[in-house]
Amino acid sequence: MPSDRIPPEKALGVDIRRSELKRARGLGSARHGSGAWIAERVTAIALVPLTLWFIASVISLEGTTRAGMIAWLHAPVPLVLILCLIIATFWHMELGLRVVVEDYVQNDAIRIAMLLVQRGVCIVAALLCIVAALRLGL
């Protein structure tokens, strides 16, 4: 391999994480960070009213039976609100857990595995909640 094809940081023994294309363009990272940052804020704003509504709903549902849950979600507004809550909660949760894992897990293999698992768990949990809510409400 001719020496001019070795990236300068590799020649210095430094490992900078970027794809070959990005290295060629000299643009640094994958440049998707701001999207996740904005999504975390947007879901946070959505969760402010939704959380208050959910706490009030849980209090009003204390000691309820399955019939009470069906009656609660049978009205369109609570059903739509809980679907919004489910989506915003698990989306926000995925973004938050991702940051924690990325910050504290240094081993590449373990970090990637944990990110895949936590994303999978968030998606499955959200789908379980959505299907359950729709089954109760529809």
List contacts with other proteins (CB under 8 A).
9, 12-16, 41, 44-45, 47-48, 51, 55, 59-60, 62-66, 69-70, 89-90, 93, 96-97, 100, 125, 128-129, 131-133, 135-136
Nearer to other proteins, 2 or 106 (CB): 106
Nearer to other proteins, 115 or 125 (CB): 125
Neighbours of 92 (CB within 10 A): 19
**Cβ 53 to other proteins shortest distance, Å:** 12
72 close to 61: Cβ distance less than 8 angstroms: yes
Q: What is the Cα Rg of the chain in Å?
A: 22
**Cβ 80 to other proteins shortest distance, Å:** 15
Q: What token pair was written down for 99?
A: 């940051």
To 10 degrees, the CA torsion angle through 33, 35, 37, 42? -170
